[in-house]
Amino acid sequence: MSQPINYPEGFRAAGAACGLKPDGRPDIALIASDRACTAAGVFTTNRVKAAPVLYDQAILAASDPQIRAVIINTGSANACTGADGLARTRQTAAWVAQALGCEPESVLALSTGVIGLPLALEPVRQGIAALREQLASDGWRAAAEAIMTTDTRPKIASVRHPDGFTVTGIAKGAGMIAPNMATMLSVIAMDAQVERALLQRALVRAAGASFNRIVVDGDMSTNDSVIALANGASGVTVTNEDTLVEALQAVCVPLAQSIVRDGEGATKFVTVHVSGAPDEASAMQVARAIATSALVKTAFYGADPNWGRIVCAAGYSGVAIRPERLSLWLLDAAQHPTLQLVERGEPLDYDEPAAIALMQEPEWGVHLDLGLGKTHTWIWTCDLSHEYVTINGHYRT
């Protein structure tokens, strides 16, 4: 993440401290475009959706949304806050529209923080005034810092596409991370011109290959959202879906990975590969069961090659695996098979000290072959540590 940031043309960003976080850290961010953007969104599939999610979904469902900005607050998720919560999101968007001189329905909103807490409007109003002054084309890092909660590092990624356009994204993550959907907050801006339906299709595909492949603790938040904006300021028009997916992935994959690397209390970044599956859904279901298992994740933490827990999780995943066909390997950081632990259901006499040494590294993988078909998939996950319990046992206090 220490690579130089490419700034998309026609966009400005800012982060500010407005008092939503009690410790005075930056807590509100704004991304603005100098012209109307086409926009796409992928949102939590949780039945309990925060007010800003409901608000954004309504705006993006309109016939021709012309998006100019995304405002992001921390401190309150504005979820489980009823009609009053929705009114506060509307008020926030109205203030941003006023500050930028656009229509309120050109403003999207994202929130993160404690559920059930009312969004404090006065800090937001002051924050928007400060953000307006600070908006700058190189303000992305400030914006990324201002949306951090239990994140320990800001998350930015950007790419200059050879076709002459730039994609830049920020994200926040850390806890409540599960796949099956955009599992955190992210805003991705590009200065290409992209037709709206194409942008939505490409974002869904890119999220499927990035944000939907990460697991920290298996909890899916009420607020998870990924927003993509395309303002056309570069003069380049993208019409090829694969080109667009590739460009989005070049930003979404490092953002998603950085969320796992910075997972709450995470000490290890582990890629869980599942191959030999009959289909993609089964492969994902097995990978997810492994990546979510508390017993697997604590074994990762303890660098314990207790492979039985991996096989066990596959066994209760709901997929009709056949134990006698399972093969299992440990992979090095480059995802190359290093040690085979199980061969078609039979435990092998592997080099245990070598396995422990590998698992003590900060980055490695496991690969389970189901022996049932030809589909392969993977998930990025982290371990479950004492620090995770410390962070989440006392999140609010």
Which one of 4-12, 60-68, 198-206, 310-318 is the stretch in contact with a second copy (CB under 8 A)? Answer: 310-318
Q: Which of residues 17, 94, 204, 295 is near a second copy by CB under 8 A? A: 295
Reported as type and span, the H/E element at residue 111 is: strand 107-111
Which of positions 169-188 make contact with a second copy (CB under 8 A)? 175-176, 178
What's the CA gap between 219 and 329, in Å, rounded?
Answer: 27
Q: Which is nearer to a second copy, 104 or 315 (CB)?
A: 315
Q: Which of residues 129, 235, 280, 395 is near a second copy by CB under 8 A? A: 395
- What's the min distance (Å) between Cβ of 303 and a second copy? 8
Which ranges constitute the DSSP H helices of 32-78?
Answer: 51-60
Q: Which of residues 111, 158, 221, 275 is near a second copy by CB under 8 A? A: 221
Residue 396 contacts a second copy per CB under 8 A:
yes
Which one of 96-104, 161-169, 220-228, 234-242 is the stretch in contact with a second copy (CB under 8 A)? Answer: 220-228
Residue 87 contacts a second copy per CB under 8 A:
no
- 379: which residues sit within 8 A by CB, 6+ positions away? 179, 213, 214, 215, 271, 272, 284, 287, 288, 290, 291
Reported as type and span, the H/E element at residue 386 is: helix 386-393
DSSP type of residue 136: B
Number of chain positions touching a second copy (CB under 8 A): 64
Q: Which of residues 58, 98, 240, 316 is near a second copy by CB under 8 A? A: 316
Active-site residue, selected from the candidate residues 44, 149, 168, 183 = 183
DSSP type of residue 319: S
The CA-atom distances, in angstroms, between 295 and each of 176, 285, 298, 363, 368 are: 18, 17, 5, 19, 17
Q: Which of residues 35, 58, 98, 116 is near a second copy by CB under 8 A? A: 116
Q: Which residues does residue 274 pair with via DSSP β-bridges, in sequence order? A: 368, 377
What's the CA gap between 103 and 181, in Å, rounded?
Answer: 29
The answer to whether residues 362 and 341 touch, using CB atoms and an 8 Å cutoff, is: no
User: Is 183 in the active site?
Assistant: yes
Structure tokens at 221: 């938040």
Structure tokens at 347: 């435990």
Q: Which of residues 152, 240, 340, 390 is near a second copy by CB under 8 A? A: 390
What's the CA gap between 384 and 397, in Å, rounded?
Answer: 21
Residue 20 contacts a second copy per CB under 8 A:
no
The answer to whether residues 378 and 272 touch, using CB atoms and an 8 Å cutoff, is: yes
For the chain, how many residues are written?
A: 397
Which of positions 341-360 make contact with a second copy (CB under 8 A)? 342, 345-347
Q: Which of residues 240, 306, 340, 360 is near a second copy by CB under 8 A? A: 306
Residues interacting with a second copy, by CB under 8 A?
A: 45-49, 77, 79-82, 114-117, 175-176, 178, 217-222, 293-295, 298-299, 301-302, 304, 306-309, 311-316, 319-324, 326, 342, 345-347, 384-386, 388-390, 392-397
Which residues are part of the catalytic machinery? 183
